[in-house]
Amino acid sequence: MNQLPAASRPKLTTVQWLICVMAAIGFAFDIYELLMLPLVAKDALLDLGGIRPGTPEFKYWFTLLFYVPAMCGGIMGLLGGYLTDKLGRRRVLTWSIMLYAFSAFAAGFSTNLWMLLVFRTLTFVGVCIEFVAAVAWLAELFEDPHQRESVLGYTQAFSSIGGLLVAVVHGVIGLSAASLPAVALPSFFGLGEISDLSSHMPWRYTLMSGLLPAIPLLVIRPFLPESPVWAKKMAEGKLKRPSIAELFGPGLRTTTIVTTLMFMCSYGIAFGALQQLQQIVPGIDEVQAQIAPQV
């Protein structure tokens, strides 16, 4: 593998900086969108269905809202690889961000639980496709291996910032929701009405804040180039889907298996533990002992 010496590596151009900014925003809001549910689920279920925590109905709907979008997003993420090859990295990246941004915004107008589930599922689909497109796009835009590794590493690190940001935004919204414009759904949509009491619920504004990544995207999009590697292969008619079997060939088998297991563990911890803390903590004996005297 050829690497340029550090001194001779070209500095990032203005366009490349725009690319990094857009990728960082995309990765940050990937996690921003995914971590919304633990923050809004309890209030949304109570508001839309009158479902209280601890009831069988709450567990049922929380499970649906949590795992149906995740499963659909994962399956569509596999399709995202095909779409990025067929339609181009930049195009799929752009439309996937638009999909999850506007579906998150629309979720804030939900009038029933099924409507919320559908829009949360679309949000996950957009997030999973965006991640696939963004990684492929960045990997092909930066030819120097060291520069490519740095760009992928630093931009994906913004995912952690997205997790912190959604918690802060939700907290701020909770303090100022009453002074924000009421959320109303025009009657011509035929999707029901949002009551006056529900129109200022913080969970609605938190979901609607997912629209934020679409704003810089609309500004930066005209300046973003398509992957030259993809464009060249498409023009020459040499673009083809690689075989999954190649990942399990002698040279890549160990890396593929170890990496897959690592990601399985990380997602298992994320979806099975970290995002379930609001469900886990109330069931701890010590917590129940502290709550009991107050009831």
Task: Per-residue pLDDT tens, the chain, 295 aa: give them.
Answer: 455 555 556 788 888 888 888 888 888 888 898 888 889 999 999 999 999 887 889 889 998 998 899 899 989 888 888 888 888 888 898 899 889 999 999 999 999 999 999 999 999 999 999 888 888 888 888 888 888 889 989 998 998 898 899 999 999 999 999 899 999 888 877 788 898 889 999 999 999 999 988 888 778 877 788 888 888 888 887 777 667 788 888 888 899 999 889 988 887 877 777 777 767 776 777 766 665 655 5
Q: What is the CATH number of domain 13-236?
A: 1.20.1250.20
Coil, strand or helix at 190: coil
Give this prediction's pTM.
0.85
Number of H helices, E strands in the chain: 12, 0
Which pLDDT score, from 0 to 100, does residue 235 have? 84
**Can you tell me the distance from the alpha carbon of 122 to that of 184, in angstroms, rounded to the nearest whole number?**
21
Contact of 100 with 123, CB cutoff 8 Å: yes
**Helix or strand holding residue 261 (H, E):** helix 253-272
Q: What is the DSSP letter of 78?
A: H
Q: What would the two tokens of residue 120 be?
A: 């949360």
Half-sphere exposure of 279 (CA within 13 A, CB side): 21
Write down the pLDDT at residue 1. Answer: 45
Inter-CA distances, 289 with 53, 277, 281, 294, Å? 18, 18, 12, 10
Residue found by looking up tokens 């009551």 in the block: 195
Total Cβ atoms within 10 A of residue 240: 8
Q: Tokens 């979806």 appear where?
A: 271
- The whole-angstrom separation of Cα 289 and Cα 295 is 11
DSSP 16-75: HHHHHHHHHHHHHHHHHHHTHHHHHHHHHHHHHH-PPTTSHHHHHHHHHHHHHHHHHHHH
Question: Would you say 25 and 216 are in contact if contact means Cβ atoms under 8 Å apart?
Answer: yes
Residues 286, 288, 293, 294, CA torsion sign: positive
Going from N- to C-terminal start, the domains of the chain cover 13-236, 242-295
Give the Cα separation of 266 and 94 in Å (integer). 27
Question: Are 130 and 93 spatial neighbours (Cβ–Cβ below 8 Å)?
Answer: yes
